[in-house]
Structure 1
Amino acid sequence: MKYILLLCGLFVYFGNISAKPFAVSEDTVRFINPFAHSITFSGNFGELRANHFHGGLDFKTGGVTGKPVRALADGYISRIRVTHGSGYVLDVVYNNGYSTINRHLEAFVGDIARRVEDLQYEQESWEVEIVPEAGEYPVKTGQIIAYSGNTGYSFGPHLHLDVIETATEDYVDPLPFFAGQVKDHTAPRAQGIMLFPQRGRGVVNGKTTRQTFGLNQTTGITAWGEIGAGIRAYDYMDGVHNRYGVHTVILEVDGQEVFRSVVDRFAYDENRYINSWTYGQYMKSFIDPGNRLRLLHASNGNRGLVTIDEERPYRFVYTLRDALGNESKVRFTVQGHRSEIPVVEHREKYHFRWDKVNYLQEPGLELVLPRGVLYEDAYLNYAVRGDSGDIAFTYQLNDRNIPLHKACNLRIGLRHRPLADSTKYYVASVSAKGSKYNMGGHYVNGYMEVKVRDLATYTVAIDTVPPILTPVGQAGWGRTGRIVFKAKDAQTGIASYRGTIDGKYALFGKPNSVKGELVCQLDPRRVKKGGSHVLVMSVTDGCGNVTIRQYRFVW
């Protein structure tokens, strides 16, 4: 169904077009389904995430764990890991020129499972990594290589599958490898438009600020000078309620293409460019001067920016397309209206250039930004505040966080040093509501030095309070053979943990980082069954404060 909204100065058309699936050549690589059940996804390649793109496909597993995961082709296992972020992880190099990373697994199989557990006890660490010799663990198409899970930073049972082009190490969209196994005729849908008047060079509705417009917006749009456009849109698939990232976005103005994004591949070190391409959930249809993200393409010679310099209607057309060729369009009109464009007023000291090295030196503050860490010029709204008793001033580098492409050096001087132990000091990021978040750092000659990845608000704080350790279901430890703790630290977080049973290392881990529980599954091969045992558990926060507790249980 198509519908037309004719607005005062804004004309929006939004329709679904079910296109044929993408063309597939005979020599295109194919993978088998990693599961015995039909394929559905909870997430797709390139979805917008905080500071990164979603690097693969999230395969649904019916809300349960323990589904056998199969090798997609012939190859060999190249890397084995257990991490707090991705849980149990298995990398596979296939003979067809591609590699995969299987994340959030519940368990490994066979010799690999035994080898991982032995290494965890040997290193006395839940997090371990093994890099086997090439070909040490060969796999055949359809062979069970692991079991699906919900480990690491995971909000529900699923398999996250990354596909990497072995020669380039680029992350590529896995969907084409499963062509014919996925049925979808649902096109992407837009939710809103955003216009970005360029500072000192353009206005929208007479204003220099970004403005959003819903698809049923009743207020007309006028503009003058240089503006950029952006769109908030999601893809959908047949028979499921999830929403996904949009594979292709094309912007045309007056019948000429000015911008195109094609989310089909990216390199790992391109991830943070997402902070330049997006504003919230809006995808910009122009390219900041310091953005080197390869999936963005401007074809109008002006980075996708549109010059409104005639008093006439400018017709914008968005084409949204998914990886299977389903397509929709959004149309709107911007009326050129001659307007005054305010001159940028700024303090030169706080004007940071995207293409230069930038320094900021203030009493008690030193900041160095190497060339290439800014995506566009930054006009800092710098401010400093503090009470006489504060350890350090609170420095607002800018009132809105400006992301940096790489971590940069920040030094904050201490006004007072109430503690001789310098390990108890940390640099804190301060939110608009005053909440503090640990950034780490170390003390050097009166200053706290730290790496930061945002131009935000920072200060120095002290943490002398040990973490809180709470046993969960202690009465049932012996019956279930499962020991569980909650560990929390309000300031610098839990940095490490360690448990022993009867004086010997006990393997505690964080199976699911969202829940945050520390869990030890008792093993009769390592803990003698049929008696009383002494458990000692310790947790340490980011400033070295330690909590140690002793418990007795019968198992």
Structure 2
Amino acid sequence: MRLPFLVFILFAFHLGHSQKYPRDYFRSPMDIPLYASGSFGELRGNHFHSGLDLKTNQKEGLSVYSAADGYVSRIKISEGGYGKALYITHPNGYTSVYAHLKKFEGSIAEYVRKKQYAQKSYEIELFPQASDLVLKKGDLIALSGNSGSSGGPHLHFEIRDTKTEQIINPLYFGFDILMPDAVLPVINGLMVYAVNDSSVVNKSQRPIPVNLSLQKDGNYLADKVYAKGNIAFAVNTYDQADKNYNWNGIFKAETFLNGSRLFGYQFEKFAFDETRYVNNFIDYHRYKTIGQTVQKLFFKRRYPFSVVSGNVTNGQITVYPGTTLNYRIEISDFHGNKRVINIPIQYSEAESTIPKTEVKTPYFVKSKNDNNYTKDNVSVFIPANAFYDDFYMNFDVKDNVLYLHDDTVPVHQNLTVTFDVSGIPNLNREKTFISRMDGSKKEFFTTTKKGNLFSARTKDLGKFFLEVDTIAPRIYRPNFAEGANLDKYDSISIHISDDLSGIKEYNAYLNGKWILMEYDYKTKTLVHFFNDAVYDAEKNELKVVVSDKMGNSAIFETHFFKTKT
């Protein structure tokens, strides 16, 4: 009787898992084979990737379809981020998202265009009523593109829980069938850490790599690790799939100590307010200093990231005298392809020959507490839990410049930087803002001014100072000569840029009428399409006005001829 009972239990488990999400409800958003250039939960700058990046054959303009019946519940167009994005709410409790689009189609395009002209703005966010834009499964909704912060043509596709707005891995909804994968994840390297001040691993208190040997069964055996105290590991890994050689993120990682589960995470779903935890999920210092991304299989202080679960010791291993341990790492993709790393660990009394490089300063930040630091005319307020761990911070002010540590320490919540400008003579207050050096570029921060106190909020450390912007933006290089005949043109374009505070607003007028111009910040181009039918027969006067964030404006005027059709 035991065997049938076991079969029943396994069947019930599989049935429950498959029924958690509807696997045959959504269709593919495109009519081409699906290959991912980015996976759900993939590690990105300051965030986890929230969907699937679907390849579009390295070009724009492919048809995008509604994945199921529903209605358009949100439309957002922004110069960065998702660019042109469409949200469809479905009656089964989920919302599908389509981003980086080139253009909307049909009644959606007309609805958006009318709203843009009514609001006189290219960037727009709309929340249509359920009866405004009703869709059937398979309806053409848009063409794929490269808008917003996209790094190349593709379709970003998401599925969200409509009520909670949590993002869910689309592979759970049957998209794994459309994206077959028999390829094992790839292990690029393994790091070991001495977690505490008293810990030593392989005679080091700094993170060091561990050699791996590939075994005949496809798994890895690590060199024996000699340690004492608390130690932990991180892995450099990525995933690939059939006919797809992109380095995508992994789906699941688990660790085991002498056969018992120690630490794990699985990218099933997460909330948007959790996404910045990626900076504690990786070895951030290593990423910023040498550009290598390793995923930590531990944390020093527990943090509320729902993807990580069931971790009694925060993933850390305590090596006592006389102990010999076997530590195992399992890296899996959604389809169950798995790599295993076996790591033997043995206690050693050996002292460290490679000490920690931590430099003690007068400013020790206790991450669980509020912290406030002031020197000369500058102050910094650090709220509790703005940092993931305690650390010694570099803090100094010289000649009205704030030196606030460096960008190798991640910040989770906004810090407030305040300059008292009362002692700065001849300051152009109206055109002054707080800036930060981002590499060789000066970064603009929205600055709140209350009397002599200029404040800005930031999630970055580094060098901060007051900057003055009195230079107007540039308007240049239209795609036609003044007075040209544009009968064969379907659009006009012109370039705009601002080198300091950045562009805040742009408006264009044909013969005194406001016209819609689409802005692509990557190419610094404004484009107006003549099918809006705003132009007049024969001569047309064009005026473009561009303002930066400090109120400096530039005006460009020209004219062209075009026959009305």
TM-score, normalised to structure 2, is: 0.85
For residues 344-371 of structure 1, the C-alpha deviation after alignment (integer angstroms, 9 at most, x for no partner) is 9876851122222222222222222222
SS in 2 for 1:246: coil
Q: Which stretch of the first structure deviates more once superposed, 115-124 or 309-318?
A: 309-318
Matching residue of 1:296: 308
Return the alpha-carbon distance in structure 1 between the equivalents of residues 73 and 171 of structure 2. 22
Is contact 1:223–1:308 with CA below 8 Å preserved after alignment?
yes
- Compared CA separation, residues 315 and 412, structure 1 to 2 (3 A): farther
Shift of 1:525: 1.9
What's the CA shift for 1:496? Answer: 1.9
Bigger drift between 316-325 and 199-208 goes to 199-208
Partner of 1:183: 180
Aligned to 2:389: 376
Structure 1: any 5+ residue segments left out of the alignment? 1-21, 387-391
Instruction: Note the aligned Cα RMSD (angstroms).
Output: 2.7
Question: RCO (CA 8 Å, sep 6+): is it higher in 1 or 2?
Answer: 1
* Displacement of 1:174: 0.5
Aligned ranges 1:494-509 → 2 under 5 Å: 494-509=503-518
Residue 470 of structure 1 is matched in structure 2 by 476
Using the aligned pairs only, state the percent identity: 27
CA positional deviation for 1:519: 1.6
Asked if 1:231 corresponds to 2:232, the answer is no
CA distance in 2: counterparts of 1:337 and 1:436, whole angstroms: 50
Q: Which of 510, 518, 534 is residue 526 of structure 1 equivalent to?
A: 534
Per-residue CA deviations over 1:246-291 (Å, capped at 9, x if unaligned) read 0001122333322111111110100111111112311111134252
State the partner residue of 1:490: 499
Structure-2 change in CA distance of 1:179 and 1:346 (3 Å): closer
Q: In 2, distance between residues paired with 1:413 and 1:320?
A: 52
1:408 is aligned, of 415, 422, 425, to 415
Structure 2 SS opposite 1:180: helix
User: Which one is further off, 119-128 or 359-368?
Assistant: 359-368
Mapped partners of 2:119, 2:375: distance in 1: 45
- Give the superposition deviation at 1:403: 2.5
Q: Does 1:87 align with 2:94?
A: no
Which position in structure 2 is the counterpart of 1:549? 556
Displacement after TM superposition at 1:420 (Å): 4.7
Indicate how the Cα distance of structure 1 residues 37 and 524 shifts in structure 2: closer, same or farther if over 3 A, else same. Answer: closer
| Amino acid in structure 2 at the alignment position of 1:463 | D
Distance 1:269 1:60 in 2: 27
What are the within-5 Å matches in structure 2 for residues 248-327 of structure 1?
248-279=252-283, 280=287, 281-289=293-301, 291-299=303-311, 301-310=312-321, 314-327=325-338
2:47 paired residue number:
52
**Cα contact 2:108–2:141 (8 A) shared by 1:** no
Deviation at 1:334, TM superposition (A): 4.6
Q: Counterpart of 1:406 in structure 2: which amino acid? A: Q
1:422 paired with 2:429, answer: yes
Deviations 1:113-161 (A, max 9, x none): 1121111112111011221122432222222222222222222222111
What's the CA shift string for 1:443-478, capped at 9, x where partnerless? 333332000113333222222222222214334882
The within-5 A match list for 1:99-498 is 99-177=95-173, 178-213=175-210, 215=212, 222-279=226-283, 280=287, 281-289=293-301, 291-299=303-311, 301-310=312-321, 314-340=325-351, 350-386=363-399, 392-393=400-401, 395-414=402-421, 417=424, 419-431=426-438, 435-475=441-481, 478=486, 479-498=488-507
Letter in 1 for 2:442: K
- Maintained 8 Å contact 2:495/2:524: yes
Aligned to 1:4: none
CA displacement 1:408-454 (0-9 Å, x = unmatched): 322123375455531311212224x6643222313333332000113
Indicate the larger mover: 517-526 or 73-82: 517-526
| In structure 1, C-alpha distance between the alignment counterparts of 2:479 and 2:52, rounded to whole Å | 36
Say whether the 8 Å CA contact 2:70–2:135 is kept in structure 1: yes
Amino acid at match of 1:190: I
- Retained in 2: the 8 A contact 1:47–1:245? yes
Q: Is the 8 A contact 1:466 1:546 kept in 2?
A: yes
- The Cα of 1:90 is off from its aligned counterpart by 1.1
Displacement of 1:109 after TM fit? 2.5
Aligned partner of 1:36 in structure 2 is 31
The 8 Å contact of residues 472 and 498 in structure 2, kept in 1 or not, is answered as yes
Residues of 2 paired with 1:216 and 1:464: CA distance? 60
Q: Assess if the C-alpha contact under 8 Å between 1:477 and 1:483 holds in 2.
A: no
- Equivalents in 1 of 2:348, 2:485: separation in Å? 73
Indicate if the aligned counterparts of 2:302 and 2:314 stay in contact, CA closer than 8 A: no
| Secondary structure in 2 matching 1:194 | strand
Tell me if structure 2 keeps the 8 A contact 1:277–1:288.
Answer: no
Q: For 1:50 and 1:521, how far apart are their aligned partners in 2?
A: 34
Residues in 1 aligned to 2:503 and 2:37: alpha-carbon distance in whole angstroms: 30
Contact 2:68 2:90 in 1 (8 A): yes
AA aligned to 1:414 is V
C-alpha separation in 1, matches of 2:420 and 2:340 = 54
Note the alpha carbon deviations across 1:386-427, whole angstroms, 9 max, x for none. Answer: 3xxxxx22x222134432222232212337545553131121
Match of 1:18 in 2: none
Q: CA deviation digits over 1:14-61, x for unaligned, max 9?
A: xxxxxxxx9863574131111222222211111111111110011222
Q: Is the 8 A contact 2:375 2:397 kept in 1?
A: no
* Aligned CA distance change for structure 1 residues 306 and 124 (closer, same or farther; 3 Å): same
Q: SS in structure 2 opposite 1:236?
A: strand
Measure, in 2, the Cα distance between the counterparts of 1:535 and 1:149.
28
Contact 1:428 1:440 in 2 (8 A): no
